């Protein structure tokens, strides 16, 4: 059973930075994608970014382009989300998820396994 563990969340001032990590353990398919989603209070969960294990292709939501960078360490089965120039509207619980197939899914339905989430709060 695949397990995903997020870390790196916290409280940061507007304009600050955080780096989230998502460590995958258990069975890891040969081809997979890991995505980051977020859910703010009272809002639906939305896709933020994702990366493929095969060719490192990436996707970013328009709201985070130019500010967030996703990267991977395939040896450690870990994906990172570097978040810069954070805004109060980035406040949410951030989840990582694994798509156990080839491709780069951008919607929740594409993903098979989910982590428990980590809180990111951007506030002065």
Q: What percent of the chain has pLDDT above 70? A: 99
Q: What is the three-class DSSP state of 79?
A: strand
Which is higher by pLDDT, 32 or 55? 32
Most confident among 24-28, 101-105, 120-124 (mean pLDDT): 120-124
Distance CA 13, CA 35 (A): 25
Which is higher by pLDDT, 52 or 93? 93
Q: What is the pLDDT of residues 93-112, one digit of tens each?
A: 999 999 988 888 888 999 99
Q: Which of 6, 20, 5, 33 is nearest to 84 (CA)?
A: 20
Distance CA 94, CA 39 (A): 7
Residue 10 predicted with pLDDT over 90: yes
Half-sphere exposure of residue 44, counting CA atoms within 13 Å on the CB side? 4
Q: What sign does the CA torsion over 69, 14, 46, 23 have?
A: positive
Distance CA 38, CA 96 (A): 9
């Amino acid at each position: 059973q695949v397990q995903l563990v997020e870390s790196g969340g916290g409280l940061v001032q507007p304009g600050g930075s955080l780096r989230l990590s998502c460590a995958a353990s258990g069975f890891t398919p040969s081809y997979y994608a890991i995505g980051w989603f977020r859910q703010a209070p009272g809002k639906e969960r939305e896709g933020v970014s994702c990366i493929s294990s095969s060719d490192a292709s990436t996707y970013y939501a328009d709201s985070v382009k130019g500010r967030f960078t996703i990267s991977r360490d395939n040896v450690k089965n870990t994906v990172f989300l570097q978040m810069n120039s954070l805004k109060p509207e980035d406040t949410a619980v951030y989840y990582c998820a694994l798509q156990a197939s080839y491709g780069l899914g951008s919607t929740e339905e594409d993903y098979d396994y989910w982590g428990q989430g980590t809180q990111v709060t951007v506030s002065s």
